Amino acid sequence: MNTEEKPTKDERVKKVITFALVVAIGALGVLYYTKKQDVKNQVAQQSSQEQSASDVDTTFIQSVGIIQSKYLDDADFQKYINDEINDLIHIQRKDIIDDAFKVVLYTQKALNALDKRDKDAAQKEIETALGKLDATLALEPNATLLPVAVNGEVNNIVSFDKVAVEGVKQNAQQALTRGDVQLARTLLEGLQSDITLVVANIPLAAHGVALRDALRALDVDNYDTAKAVLYTAMTTLVEIRKVVPIPLLNAELLIKKSQEKLNAKEKVTIVHGMLSEARKQIEMAQVLGYGFLNQKEYADIYKAVVALEKKIDAKESTDESYKELKDAVKSLRDKIMAKDSEKKQK
């Protein structure tokens, strides 16, 4: 009779650590994502043993179903997402990230050595990791978090119909009024169109403390304590997350592209078409409740679109009008994202 061996606790933890090492670091790594529209999770299948952060291939959230305009393409989307990810990463210099990432790699090697009860090798790897950590902090004294993974989840409404959405909202409100909370929850569940970006970070100060504690444990041949300390350090993550409303993403890209088209002397009808689509995307964000408390910002955006279109028709300079429109959208977006962003420790 064949019996299936269950993984030990150590093996399970090592799988978590290995996963953390192979996942993305913004533009330097691999983006793992889930998409709740019949798209399977994609995880990079790469060994991390001898790789630095910048060696890992880069993949991104697919733009299919997110880009909602014939005027936009995947390149527009990928740059936008890259910028959002980089905004969440505290360390921006690639060489510093590379050195900091090696702190994690050498810690993993120390754990491998501890599994073999190889004291000398474990001590060497821990000391190397500490050296890399000290070098990182010397170059970036204010660095507190090392990004080791970028996760993304897409929740996107299949199709948008304002009347239908308002009807669902009304039915949900009626359900809440009569106390049917679960029905209201089910009704509202599909009214979501956003990308949640999550950057998982290892706290550098705590990691340094763990490395030194592990060395002290090894000095008295306490292998189990050393392993436990390093495992905890490798699996203690601080998450920083940001919710990006997809309609605002599309609107910002359309506005930017429309200005480029206008400056390139493209047909005015194309520019108007792009601005019309941008306005519809803004309306979609409003109906879906993104920035519910920011109705003034929405009013400012609609007003700015009308003013811009008048300037275009009158063949007047549009630089200032475009700036006002972009600033209005950015103001709304920043307020929504500030509300939805959070930082938590796992």
Residue 114 pLDDT > 70:
yes
Least confident range from 209-223, 298-312, 331-345: namely 331-345
Residue 338 pLDDT > 80:
no
Torsion angle defined by CA atoms of residues 204, 209, 215 and 218, in that order, rounded to the nearest 10 degrees: -120
Nearest-angstrom CA–CA distance, 194 and 185: 18
Inter-residue contact 123 to 5 (CB < 8 Å): no
Residue 4 included in any domain: no
* pLDDT score for 58: 35
Q: Do 26 and 135 lie in a common domain?
A: yes
Q: How many residues does the chain have?
A: 346
Q: Do 74 and 207 lie in a common domain?
A: yes
Residue 345 included in any domain: no
Inter-residue contact 129 to 137 (CB < 8 Å): no
* pLDDT score for 14: 39
Inter-residue contact 93 to 138 (CB < 8 Å): no
Mean pLDDT along residues 246-258: 93
Q: Show the domain range for 171.
A: 158-191
* pLDDT score for 60: 45
Indicate the average pLDDT of the chain: 79
Q: Do 181 and 124 lie in a common domain?
A: no
Question: How is residue 201 written in tokens?
Answer: 């970070």
Q: Do 99 and 141 lie in a common domain?
A: yes
Strands of 342-345's sheet in order across: 39-42, 32-35, 145-155, 194-203, 238-245, 342-345
Q: Do 263 and 128 lie in a common domain?
A: no
Q: Do 50 and 87 lie in a common domain?
A: yes
* pLDDT score for 340: 53
Mean pLDDT along residues 66-82: 83
Residue 70 pLDDT > 80:
yes
* pLDDT score for 250: 92
Q: Do 140 and 273 lie in a common domain?
A: no
Q: Is 180 helix (H, G, I), strand (E, B) or coil?
A: coil
Residue type, 242: K
E strands in 56-193? 145-155
* pLDDT score for 263: 93
Domain boundary among 208, 236, 264: 236
Domain boundary among 236, 264, 289: 236
Inter-residue contact 238 to 145 (CB < 8 Å): yes
Share of the chain above pLDDT 90, in %: 43
Residue 276 included in any domain: yes
pLDDT in tens, 225-240: 999 999 999 888 888 8
Residue 1 included in any domain: no
Q: Do 82 and 208 lie in a common domain?
A: yes
Least confident range from 64-68, 130-134, 190-194, 220-224: namely 64-68
Q: Is 325 exposed, middle or buried (0-12, 13-18, 19+ CB in 10 A)?
A: buried
Nearest-angstrom CA–CA distance, 255 and 325: 8
Nearest-angstrom CA–CA distance, 281 and 248: 7
Residue 48 included in any domain: yes
The answer to whether the Cα torsion of 323, 324, 329, 331 is positive or negative is: positive
Share of the chain above pLDDT 70, in %: 77
Q: Do 296 and 205 lie in a common domain?
A: no
pLDDT in tens, 4-41: 444 454 444 433 333 333 333 332 332 223 333 322 22
* pLDDT score for 89: 75
**pLDDT tier at 141, thresholds 50, 70, 90:** confident
* pLDDT score for 343: 57
Residue 342's CB is within 10 A of a number of other CB atoms, namely: 11
Q: Do 108 and 126 lie in a common domain?
A: yes
Angle between helices 94-115 and 204-219 (to 10 degrees): 30
Q: Do 13 and 72 lie in a common domain?
A: yes
Q: What is the DSSP string of 75-112?
A: HHHHHHHHHHHHHH-S---HHHHHHHHHHHHHHHHHHH
Residue 242 included in any domain: no
Domains identified in the chain, total number: 3
* pLDDT score for 64: 62
Q: What are phi and psi of 43, to 5 degrees?
A: -125, 135
Q: Do 68 and 164 lie in a common domain?
A: no
